[in-house]
Structure 1
């Protein structure tokens, strides 16, 4: 077991700056995250989806607390919660359209973490349409870094690693970071091309309805650029 307190000073800085935001002080004994995997039975050759369990780590509950603060700043304009919601949206569109599913391959584990953190902080601290969090931006940035690129995990042989980019599967930040980054990508794409008849997504799995396959191909190409 490891007994360490990597965020005590930062948390104390935030608590000194505001009484409105409180983080639990990390004072217990913890262990590093550990990797495991799920087999992707729906894909050829059954690849393994790598997962790092962060439940025993010192940053797990800190990451969840950060999520609760960030979530109101992330818009979910195109998100759906279930297949039933997708079918409901589909009923409102002409049946003559082409429907396809687009997938961002391994997006959560490969997304640019540094850029995503910058995008989140831009929305939290400099977007005039949202209220600014009453805590130091630099401290908030450091906590997000600690919960992603600086969180160690160990292999079954005892070797220690850190995931430098991407967010580990099962990280509390996985869905939120993916949604934050995709929101910016979508804004860029739809500023360049016409919006399809329907565009909805479940994190990085996207359903599109358009009048022709050419419109869908243009959409896919623009996302890939």
Structure 2
């Protein structure tokens, strides 16, 4: 875990625009590849992420395909009604809004609740100290000035993702409990959440407005409808029948690797194979798949 004194360098901050959102906000990203805390971050992520993945699999969604699979189980239990509403919401700036001390405390609480006094032979107090180094010693350069992050963690640091997930494990407990009590679905992918609802829409809005007050740093923006995109899938409640298809962001351009490029031939085969596999997995009817197949064909033609 010791940094390489020769290759080590300060992280540097840059911004990526979120072109799919109104007013095009930016996402702050720190290049931490050669940062002094990177080895510690990677180590903690390797030993703690598997624990989170194992203990929180019922409320975690890894991609659109896994969400579709879980929702099919929801449908098979007869829970999808013609009046069932879908709800999606995302947590605003989760990575950079994590309160550091509280996040460290929740990390220890998470491990303790799940029966861990040590992880890979390392006591929890030592793990907390290592995690504290990753968070509190995150120093970076921006416009020839040196800064230290005092709120949240670096988006590009691998352990920040795991810590954010564990923080949300704590925050979402009440929401998950209420969904479980009414046999409704709850699934989260990092800072994006999908829920089903079979009560009045106003009751759902009241619940989400209440959730917005649970923590001063956790603010959510929600959408409620019978047709909503989530990650890379569009979900529709068609009179009690679940319909799914691939979702393309409005700003997405129909580009893939150009066929005139010098990439190995198997790269182009993989593009076609992956696109068709996605279409098959995400399309709930043959008509939807056929439309997607035509879209793939046109995309490939546009790319030579």
Q: Shorter-chain TM-score: which interval?
A: 0.7 to 0.9
Q: In the alignment, which residue of structure 2 is the partner of 1:222?
A: 210
Question: Alpha carbons of 1:195 and 1:60: their partners in 2 closer, same or farther (altered >3 Å)?
Answer: farther
- Greater radius of gyration (CA): 2
State the shift of 1:191 in Å.
Answer: 4.7
Matches within 5 A, 1:73-92: 73-74=51-52, 75-76=55-56, 77-91=58-72, 92=74
Match of 2:161 among 175, 189, 199: 175
State the shift of 1:185 in Å.
Answer: 1.2
Q: In the alignment, which residue of structure 2 is the partner of 1:25?
A: 2
Q: Secondary structure of the residue that 1:99 maps to in structure 2?
A: strand
Structure 2 CA distance, aligned partners of 1:183 and 1:49?
23
- The TM-score with structure 1 as length reference comes to 0.80
State the shift of 1:177 in Å.
Answer: 1.2
State the shift of 1:131 in Å.
Answer: 5.2
Residues 78 and 200 of structure 1 are in contact (CA less than 8 Å); yes or no, is this contact kept in structure 2? yes
Residues 196 and 209 of structure 1 are in contact (CA less than 8 Å); yes or no, is this contact kept in structure 2? no
Structure 2 CA distance, aligned partners of 1:90 and 1:140?
36
1:189-221 deviation digits (Å, cap 9, x = unpaired) = 445674561111111101111013234223312
Structure 2 CA distance, aligned partners of 1:198 and 1:191?
11
Structure 1 CA distance, aligned partners of 2:182 and 2:46?
31
Segments of structure 2 that go 5 or more residues without pairing to the other structure are 214-304
Q: In the alignment, which residue of structure 2 is the partner of 1:140?
A: 127
Segments of structure 1 that go 5 or more residues without pairing to the other structure are 1-23
Greater strand share, 1 or 2? Answer: 2
- The TM-score with structure 2 as length reference comes to 0.60
Structure 1 CA distance, aligned partners of 2:178 and 2:197?
16
Q: Which has the higher contact order (CA 8 A, sep 6+)?
A: 1
Match of 1:123 among 87, 107, 110: 110
Q: In the alignment, which residue of structure 1 is the partner of 2:33?
A: 55
Match of 2:149 among 157, 163, 170: 163
1:102-156 deviation digits (Å, cap 9, x = unpaired) = 11111111012211111111233x3363353333444332221111122210113
Question: Alpha carbons of 1:68 and 1:195: their partners in 2 closer, same or farther (altered >3 Å)?
Answer: farther
Tell me how many residue pairs correspond in the alignment: 200
Residues 117 and 123 of structure 2 are in contact (CA less than 8 Å); yes or no, is this contact kept in structure 1? no
Considering only aligned residues, what root-mean-square deviation do their CA atoms show, in Å?
2.1
Q: Secondary structure of the residue that 1:153 maps to in structure 2?
A: strand
Structure 2 CA distance, aligned partners of 1:136 and 1:40?
40
Structure 2 CA distance, aligned partners of 1:143 and 1:132?
14
